[in-house]
Structure 1
Amino acid sequence: MMLAKVLKEFKQLMPIALPAVFSQLAQMAMGVIDTIMAGHYSNDALAAIAIGTSLLHPVLVFFMGLFLAFNPIIAHLRGAKKDQEIGATFRLSIGLAIVMVPFAVVILLNAQIILDLLGVNPAVVDLATRYLHATVWGMPGLLLFLALRFCNEGMFSTPAILTATLVSIPFNILFNFWFMYGGYGVPEMGAVGLGYATGLVWTIMFLGLLTYSALTPKYRTFEIFKQFKLPGWHAVREVLHLGFPMAITLGFEVTLFAAVSLMIGRYPTEVMGAHQIAVNIASLTFMIPLGISQAITARVGYFAGKQAPNRMRLAGYTGIATAAGISTFTASAMILLPVTLVSFYTEDSAVIAIASGLLFYAAIFQFSDCVQVSSAGALRGMKDTKMPMVITAVAYWFVGFPVGYYLAESQGYQANGYWMGLIAGLTTAAILLMVRWRQLSRTINFATAVSKAEKFDASI
């Protein structure tokens, strides 16, 4: 009987999860394309992209976490059949995106100060800074895309997100070639050209999802763009209450990887390039459980809105088990085919040798990474965000980074030491988040579970 219920939930999860996964992979593919093209252009360009994205990703993930609040909010509204509030929430997401653009721009325009303080190789700093400045032009498009993306995820409209992302990939390749190598009135810009191309692609992605949100028939009753009335302050407060802890939570993991990249940035160029390639491959496989986690959030949030605790628990556990099972295959690929995977990025034998070794550590933390991100997704669906924030702070910055720093700098393991630290941090997060989900989801009465979570949040 239970197996039949699990299979039924699995069949309902997959139509949401698969487009979300492929959408994540498509977005990641653009980063892979950028890295491959930079690697074939020059080692300096590859190093600049490695350092530049080490700062860009924390910024992007912070705003991603903030707007991720709209996924469970919309899912709860849909489950509770509060259709009249869905349109107002869409509009709120757009307004919030516009307000947040200046903050993102200011951070990126001051990138050189951060890189100089961290002691990154001066030859790389200048190129990485100009790359980041070029991406500024696409920041409005990116934040507006994120706003519409997570609202659509809450509506289970992940195929639309996938379509908008896939359509942008050919433009990404075209603009990369054009701006990096020059031609037709555009000067050769190398790595800086990749920044301008990225900004244009973000804008195209937003326009695609805007078109869908405005024209799809099932959204007409919400009158998203026919009214200008925004929800009250209580709705804004809920978004910030959920969004900021999620932004910080995601930021803890991304800044951990960014900090590791920046520390490795003090090593020779070959090591920096190898690390960037290994991180790129690990990040690519991470898109699978990340996409599943977003579907888990929507499913758990939907049943939370319907006040159906048994279905909510089933949705969470089914999603977590699915993500964990997939990690077996991604880890196997890294262990069995490291040289093949790395060779897609570079022909430099020294870089290939170093990156292949780092992939072994990436294979080890695959399972932990899958469990922690999918457990966090289930907790988001319950609107439980503050405790995961505390857990990730402890796991990544009181366990992961200190262990990595000690092994790398005190024990002489260098890049390998930092990757061992990643394993320690991700494993700690996976265990603690899974325990948190198990404790909350076991509460018999859903209203009681929410009450307990809110009481705990109030004490932090």
Structure 2
Amino acid sequence: MFPTDTLQDKGKLFLQILIPILITQLGMYAMNFFDTVMSGKAGANDLAGVAIGSSLWVPIFTGVNGVLLALSPIVAQLVGGDKKENIPSAVRQGIYLSIVLAIIVCIIGYFLLDPILMTMSLESEVRYIAKHYLVALSTGIVPLFMYNAIRCFFDALGQTRITMFITLISLPVNILFNYVLIFGKWGLPALGGVGAGLASSLTYWVSLFISLLILSRVRPFSQYEIHKHFEPPSLHAWWVQLKIGIPIGFAIFFEVSIFAAVTLFMSTYSTYTIAAHQAAINFASFLYMIPLSISMALTIAVGFEVGARRMEDAKQYSYLGISIAVIMSIICGAAIYIFDDPVANLYSSNSEVIDMTKHFLFYAIFFQLSDAFGAPIQGALRGYKDVNITLLMAFISYWVIGLPSGYIFATFTFLGPAGYWVGLITGLAVGAIALLTRLVSLQRKSHQHLRLKNEATD
């Protein structure tokens, strides 16, 4: 990151940060996609087991990873405030915290995994695959969380191409490990869906190894000498990160877990309806990578400018990011409307499922439009380290407004299962409006505070 004078320069720099983040997110999404598809080729039970395992793991991973994301605004503000001498300690403590969080997740999983799976009405083989998929994957949780902490450091310096580079290497490695372990190549036993979990774990180790090499040998990261000095863990430093990270993590958890809740409510409908809903949600999740990436880029850009006390520049980045997200959302919405049939055919060959998927995709247009407003605003607020409001609005948007209103629309109106989509869209829209109000208020207060501070200095 570096200071810019004109809106055009800001646009160029923002895109330089954004595009690698977007490619990275799409690459990570593709890993989960290939895990599911390749497991399906091994058998229906393997597909079901991996799907169950993923549905349990993804909300936990995204929620805990949200805690680690706090390192990005912390480092970005230190860079912007020209306090680079404090960065090595912040990163080391972030890595320590990532290891502790990984160990806690493994311990909780050890005691709760079997009871959770036993509450589900699963065939014994599916339950076995789901359990051992997660057990195999758990051997890579420590390197995964460590890598994500290091990634936050890379990204906060504006070097988002590095994480893109690591992801583009890791994706084919993951596919190769899947091929070898799921289907039993090179003399190894065919592990089926369990092999997908082990492949993911090995990929996490590879990603960590590459990131450590870059951290220690590639400039500008090696200049911080994070790898050369040991310092004891600091509970105070952890608390500083947790105060920012816990609200981020819970906000993301509320957002991710709501889809599992909606799927549970929709289980009262036909299998075709559930399949069509899952297909539309899957495609909407794919499109969500765009506003999510813009949100992450905004956290870096806004955090950098706030750290330097350039509040007007931070404001310009905020609305630049929101504008890009809305424009991209309109383009994506038009593409969904025009190409709904080819998209639906990607997920099924059943005519009834295709028709219902196209019906749900129409609502996905408005769903991703609401996301285009809400996600970037959250990213901008995180750049200001204002995270508690995003936690509150995530809970209210999805669980207080979205799910209850969706149930009412689905049960008591002509909308039927599509009512859940209308409920989520309503919740997202209300949340986006509230967050925008918060952002405007925060920016106004920041300008007033800076002006008073300058007047006092003069």
Code of the residue aligned with 1:198 in structure 2: it is: S
1:446–1:37 CA distance, 2 compared to 1 (3 A)? farther
Structure 1 stretch displaced more, 68-77 or 266-275? 266-275
* Distance in 2 of aligned mates of 1:289 and 1:222: 31
* Distance in 2 of aligned mates of 1:178 and 1:421: 43
* Distance in 1 of aligned mates of 2:194 and 2:409: 35
Code of the residue aligned with 1:355 in structure 2: it is: T
Identity %: 34
The equivalences for 1:179-258 within 5 A come to 179-229=181-231, 232-258=234-260
Please say if residues 43 and 273 of structure 1, whose CA atoms lie closer than 8 Å, have aligned partners that are also in contact.
no
Please say if residues 32 and 280 of structure 1, whose CA atoms lie closer than 8 Å, have aligned partners that are also in contact.
no
1:179–1:92 CA distance, 2 compared to 1 (3 A)? same
Please say if residues 304 and 382 of structure 1, whose CA atoms lie closer than 8 Å, have aligned partners that are also in contact.
yes
Please say if residues 367 and 421 of structure 2, whose CA atoms lie closer than 8 Å, have aligned partners that are also in contact.
no
Please say if residues 22 and 162 of structure 1, whose CA atoms lie closer than 8 Å, have aligned partners that are also in contact.
yes
**2:91 matched to which residue of 1?**
90
- 1:72 aligned to 2:78? no
Code of the residue aligned with 2:438 in structure 1: it is: R
Please say if residues 215 and 222 of structure 2, whose CA atoms lie closer than 8 Å, have aligned partners that are also in contact.
no
Please say if residues 51 and 265 of structure 1, whose CA atoms lie closer than 8 Å, have aligned partners that are also in contact.
no
CA RMSD of aligned residues (A): 2.6
**2:295 matched to which residue of 1?**
293
**2:8 matched to which residue of 1?**
7
**2:435 matched to which residue of 1?**
433
* Distance in 1 of aligned mates of 2:145 and 2:417: 33
1:173–1:221 CA distance, 2 compared to 1 (3 A)? closer
The equivalences for 1:35-50 within 5 A come to 35-50=36-51
1:327–1:230 CA distance, 2 compared to 1 (3 A)? farther
- 1:165 aligned to 2:199? no
Please say if residues 120 and 262 of structure 1, whose CA atoms lie closer than 8 Å, have aligned partners that are also in contact.
no
**1:421 matched to which residue of 2?**
423
State the TM-score, normalized to the length of structure 2.
0.89
Instruction: Give per-residue Cα distances to partners, 1:154-212, cap 9 Å, x unaligned.
Output: 11110000000010111121222222222333333333322222222222222222221
Please say if residues 74 and 154 of structure 1, whose CA atoms lie closer than 8 Å, have aligned partners that are also in contact.
yes
**How far 1:286 moved relative to its partner?**
0.8
The equivalences for 1:237-316 within 5 A come to 237-264=239-266, 270-316=272-318
Instruction: Give per-residue Cα distances to partners, 1:31-68, cap 9 Å, x unaligned.
Output: 22223334455554444444332221111111221011
**1:457 matched to which residue of 2?**
none
* Distance in 1 of aligned mates of 2:9 and 2:142: 40
Please say if residues 144 and 208 of structure 2, whose CA atoms lie closer than 8 Å, have aligned partners that are also in contact.
yes
**How far 1:102 moved relative to its partner?**
1.9
* Distance in 1 of aligned mates of 2:444 and 2:218: 38
Q: Tell me the secondary structure at the aligned position of residue 6 of structure 2.
A: helix
**1:323 matched to which residue of 2?**
325
Code of the residue aligned with 2:368 in structure 1: it is: Q
Structure 1 stretch displaced more, 294-303 or 101-110? 101-110
State the TM-score, normalized to the length of structure 1.
0.89
Please say if residues 73 and 156 of structure 2, whose CA atoms lie closer than 8 Å, have aligned partners that are also in contact.
yes
Q: Tell me the secondary structure at the aligned position of residue 314 of structure 1.
A: helix
Q: Tell me the secondary structure at the aligned position of residue 140 of structure 2.
A: helix
Instruction: Give per-residue Cα distances to partners, 1:423-450, cap 9 Å, x unaligned.
Output: 122222211111111111122537469x
Please say if residues 88 and 231 of structure 1, whose CA atoms lie closer than 8 Å, have aligned partners that are also in contact.
no
Q: Tell me the secondary structure at the aligned position of residue 53 of structure 1.
A: helix
Please say if residues 94 and 238 of structure 2, whose CA atoms lie closer than 8 Å, have aligned partners that are also in contact.
no
**1:144 matched to which residue of 2?**
146
**2:64 matched to which residue of 1?**
63
1:364–1:40 CA distance, 2 compared to 1 (3 A)? farther
Instruction: Give per-residue Cα distances to partners, 1:83-131, cap 9 Å, x unaligned.
Output: 11111111111111111112222344433433554x5555655543333
**1:134 matched to which residue of 2?**
136
1:273–1:207 CA distance, 2 compared to 1 (3 A)? farther
Please say if residues 300 and 381 of structure 1, whose CA atoms lie closer than 8 Å, have aligned partners that are also in contact.
yes
Q: Tell me the secondary structure at the aligned position of residue 445 of structure 2.
A: coil
Instruction: Give per-residue Cα distances to partners, 1:272-313, cap 9 Å, x unaligned.
Output: 444333222211111111111111101111111101111111
Instruction: Give per-residue Cα distances to partners, 1:227-281, cap 9 Å, x unaligned.
Output: 1125854432210110111111111101111222344456555544443332222
* Distance in 1 of aligned mates of 2:53 and 2:76: 35
**How far 1:334 moved relative to its partner?**
2.1
Q: Tell me the secondary structure at the aligned position of residue 341 of structure 2.
A: helix
What residue ranges of structure 2 are gaps of 5+ in the alignment? 454-458
* Distance in 1 of aligned mates of 2:281 and 2:89: 39
1:377 pairs, out of 364, 379, 401, with 379
